[in-house]
Amino acid sequence: MKRLIALIFAPFLLLAASASAIVIDGLNDRVEKADVGVVLGSMVMPDGTPSPRLQARLDRAVELHGQGIIDFILVSGGTGKEGFSEGKVMRDYLVAQNIAEDRIITDEFGNTTRDTAINAAGLMKERSLSSAIAISQYFHLTRSRMAFRDAGIAQVGTAHARYFEGRDLYSIAREIPALAKYWLAG
């Protein structure tokens, strides 16, 4: 009977441990001086403005730039179902926040985390930039850091957007298999 109970509860314990590790890692920012902060894309509202989640990511980048922690802000996102380029919307938001355009690098083809990492690595290499801070939601940072390293960015810090919502529970659960897929794909 004890074995049966253990077999039933073991998967739940593994999921809980995995979710806890993702949350703890994501909330434990690794913020050190870096060449660029890379803001990973998220939904744009139907009116063409950043969603609250995306705005929180951008605001964190503005904060880090203002503190002199990052020199450049690289925004990366594709065109969503709303019909707007996330990259352009993010760039426009940063300009409205008084970030100089020559300090913003725009990638309009970051449709996935892996695409963003590969594109960021290429754009950074073109500009002789070598260190980055991934800026996203806390639950997304473990996988983002892994993707950036796989793309050849050796020094990768993390900074989480200060925005939390109920949907995060779903997103944390979704990260568990996504992270496993990244880890297995090497």
pLDDT computed for residue 183 by the predictor? 75
Span 125-164, pLDDT tens digits: 999 999 999 999 999 999 999 999 999 999 999 999 999 9
User: Residue 186 above 70 pLDDT?
Assistant: no
For residues 127 and 175, give the distance between their C-alpha atoms in angstroms, rounded to a whole number: 32
Q: Go through the domains of the chain in sequence order and give each one's CATH number.
A: 2-185 (3.40.50.620)
Span 75-97, pLDDT tens digits: 999 998 888 999 999 999 999 99
